[in-house]
Amino acid sequence: MRAVVCEKLGLPSDLVVRDVPDPPEPGPGEIKVALAARGAQFVDVLMAAGEYQTKPPLPFIPGSEAAGEVIAVGPDVADFAVGDKVMTRHSPGAFAEMATISTSAALPVPDGMDLIQAAGFRSAYTTAYHALVQRGRLQPGEVLLVHGAAGGIGLAAVQVGKILGATVIATAGNDEKLAAVKANGADHIIDLTVDNPRDSVRDQVKAATGGGVDVVLEIVGGQVFEGCLRALNWRGTLVVVGFTSGEIANMKTNYVLLKGVSVTGINWSNYRNEDPAWVRRVQDEIFDMCVQKKINMPIQATFPMEDVVKAFNIIRNREIRGKIVIRMGDEG
């Protein structure tokens, strides 16, 4: 089969597409999937650069989410059958034509969702929902601040925040991103192309709301993190989701003390491993939102596997305005 292969850590241009051995036939508790589309994420770019906390041994096939059709099932598998459309969450290994995975890493694709949309759906919405509901405890009428709002998780958080009844303030880094965020439901937008985001975040939030925010989804890090602490209302909550700026923030705990705020984090894979029943229930709620057409992830672009370098460079250069999907030919 064809696959994207990371043979050395570095830039997107170091990735190669080549023939690799087909995955094995599925054993107990496994299915084999012909992958039609794969969601490309910032974490994939980091992992291929050797800058992520998980470092697979070289060589490896990047990618952590995909969608396709079941082509074989293990001897004891009852939940899936050949021909079923599924979305997968397996890392690494998604940037290939096929994958043999545990049934726990697959979910049925909801009716009405195509494979291109399915490939970029699962991680964005589950992460956003967990961050806002389970960690942020966002309530109707509260004010939510979403950073990095033009990416997959950010746009998902904007949409979910509106469904939960919040007023949503969203940040992005240029006019095209700000327009995309506004189109997805943000009530207020903040331009982060400033020299001092630490003070600017607080000042722009105050200008938009007359006060502060109750919950922050923080995905940028660096000075933006400190600006978020300053923008929080008393007893507000800041949820750390990532560090797309490449800078891990140092927290000034005097803000935490004086404002009585909470700072917490979300790593969705931990929930998948520690409480799979809760994750499945939440996933059903998210699928219901999708079927009712309350949420829909914008697909910025799709690329054939041979153009994976172009796809990764869009993410690496922070030109993202939705989801980037890697496809095979014209399928999906």
What confidence tens digit (pLDDT) does each residue in 61-75 have? 999 999 999 999 999
Q: Where does the pLDDT of residue 196 fall: very low under 50, low under 70, confident under 90, or very high at 90 and above? A: low
What confidence tens digit (pLDDT) does each residue in 90-127 have? 888 999 999 999 998 999 998 889 999 999 898 899 89
How many domains are contained in the chain?
A: 2
CA distance 92 to 291: 29
Mean pLDDT of 29-43: 95
The pLDDT of residue 331: 44
CA distance 85 to 113: 10
CB burial class (10 A; 0-12, 13-18, 19+) of residue 171? buried
- Tell me whether residue 283 is in a domain: no
Same domain, 231 and 163: yes
Same domain, 162 and 235: yes
Under 8 Å between Cβ of 50 and 31 = no
State pTM to two decimals. Answer: 0.91
Same domain, 142 and 246: yes
The CATH number covering residue 258 comes to 3.40.50.720
Q: Where does the pLDDT of residue 169 fall: very low under 50, low under 70, confident under 90, or very high at 90 and above? A: very high
The CATH number covering residue 317 comes to 3.90.180.10
Under 8 Å between Cβ of 146 and 169 = yes
CB burial class (10 A; 0-12, 13-18, 19+) of residue 271? middle
Same domain, 230 and 305: no
CA distance 246 to 295: 29
Same domain, 174 and 99: no
SS3 state of residue 137: coil
- Tell me whether residue 113 is in a domain: yes
Cα atoms in the 13 Å half-sphere on the side-chain side of 150 = 22
- Tell me whether residue 142 is in a domain: yes
CA distance 276 to 299: 28
CA distance 62 to 259: 42
Which domain does 35 fall in, by range? 2-121+297-327
CA distance 246 to 264: 19
- Tell me whether residue 67 is in a domain: yes
Q: Where does the pLDDT of residue 201 fall: very low under 50, low under 70, confident under 90, or very high at 90 and above? A: confident
Same domain, 84 and 134: no
Q: Where does the pLDDT of residue 291 fall: very low under 50, low under 70, confident under 90, or very high at 90 and above? A: confident
CA-based nearest residue to 204, from 175, 231, 225, 181: 231
- Tell me whether residue 274 is in a domain: no
Q: Which of 1-15, 20-34, 267-281 has the lowest mean pLDDT?
A: 267-281
Same domain, 14 and 85: yes
Same domain, 151 and 98: no
The pLDDT of residue 194: 64
How far is the first Cα of the chain from the last one, in angstroms, to the nearest whole number? 18
The pLDDT of residue 332: 39
What percent of the chain clears pLDDT 90, i.e. is strictly above it?
A: 62
Same domain, 233 and 141: yes
What confidence tens digit (pLDDT) does each residue in 312-328 have? 999 999 898 999 999 97
- Tell me whether residue 313 is in a domain: yes
Residue 195 has pLDDT above 70, yes or no: no
- Tell me whether residue 200 is in a domain: yes
Residue 330 has pLDDT above 70, yes or no: no
What confidence tens digit (pLDDT) does each residue in 207-259 have? 888 889 999 999 888 788 888 898 999 999 999 998 877 778 788 888 899 88
Pair of tokens at residue 233: 């209302």
Same domain, 147 and 222: yes
Same domain, 95 and 169: no
Same domain, 222 and 150: yes
Q: Which of 14-18, 246-250, 273-277 is modeled with the greatest confidence?
A: 14-18
Higher pLDDT, 246 or 200: 200
DSSP string of 182-240, one letter each residue: HHTT-SEEEE--SS-HHHHHHHHHHHHHSS-EEEEEE-S-THHHHHHHHHEEEEEEEEE
- Tell me whether residue 239 is in a domain: yes
